[in-house]
């Protein structure tokens, strides 16, 4: 079974987990472009409904709230519950908010957690981004334009509009043509003045792909991103 989705995955009721078991399902592949906010519920679905899987593929973007997703998490919550599983292929991008934390796991820590995986070909990477939900200092109008030629992914979620402007205004930043941007639709609408602002048009037109975290995108919005894959 292969499942493709551009929409959010909603939590399933416990009664659904108990009722709709699929004991004869052997292969399952999930590709979801939108951010999954309840990954723990998805894991429950896999464990209780598809416990006899032999092949599993997960290609997802997730937001974690209680723990960092690493090899230990996948082994404890998936592999240990699927004794028939022979092949597990995954490409998982996860976001996790750290507040007042003293210990920050390194990429080596994350990679080490996959050492117990058999026949492993696993690449892991962890990045830390400082988030500021408040307005930045605007007394920097004379600063040179900043270039980010090697940035490929940018997530602007739960930040002040001023920080979105820092990246989208062509008077402040020069974005590459290979960038994927993840941002809330309403915030993007505000910063671009309902997709009419000229000073953000150039960088927006450069985006290779755009995830606006919205169920519906008006047709006129796409004219503002003529070369961009939107979802």
- Residue 215 tokens read as 């169920």
Nearest to 149 by CA among 169, 168, 175: 175
Model pLDDT, residue 131: 53
Strand partners, 10: none
SS3 of 49, please? helix
CA atoms of 85 and 75, how far apart (whole Å) = 12
- Residue 117 tokens read as 């995986």
Model pLDDT, residue 103: 58
CA atoms of 158 and 93, how far apart (whole Å) = 18
- Residue 197 tokens read as 């602002």
Mean pLDDT per segment of 10 residues, for the chain of length 231 residues? 50 49 88 77 81 90 78 86 88 72 65 70 65 50 78 80 89 90 88 94 92 78 89 79
SS3 of 25, please? coil
The CA angle 228-122-52, to the nearest 5 degrees, is 95
For the chain, the domains span 2-112, 146-230
């Amino acid at each position: 079974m292969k499942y493709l989705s551009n929409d959010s995955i909603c939590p399933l009721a416990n009664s659904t987990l108990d009722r709709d078991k699929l004991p004869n399902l052997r292969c399952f592949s999930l590709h979801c472009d939108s951010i999954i906010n309840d990954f723990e519920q998805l894991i429950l679905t896999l464990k209780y409904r598809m416990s006899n899987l032999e092949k599993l593929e997960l290609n997802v973007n997730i937001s974690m709230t209680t723990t960092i997703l690493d090899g230990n998490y996948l082994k404890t919550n998936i592999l240990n519950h699927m004794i028939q599983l022979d092949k597990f292929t995954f490409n998982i991008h996860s976001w996790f908010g750290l507040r007042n934390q003293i210990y920050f796991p390194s990429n080596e820590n994350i990679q080490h957690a996959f050492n117990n995986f058999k026949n492993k070909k696993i690449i892991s990477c962890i990045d830390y981004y400082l988030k500021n939900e408040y307005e930045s200092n605007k007394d920097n109008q004379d600063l040179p334009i900043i270039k980010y030629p090697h940035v490929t992914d940018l997530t602007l979620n739960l930040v002040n509009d001023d920080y979105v402007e820092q990246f989208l205004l062509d008077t402040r930043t020069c974005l590459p043509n290979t960038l994927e941007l993840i941002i809330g639709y309403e915030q993007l609408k505000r910063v671009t003045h309902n997709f009419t602002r000229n000073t953000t048009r150039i960088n927006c037109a450069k985006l290779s792909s755009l995830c606006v975290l919205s169920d519906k995108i008006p047709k006129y919005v796409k004219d503002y991103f003529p070369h961009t894959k939107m979802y």
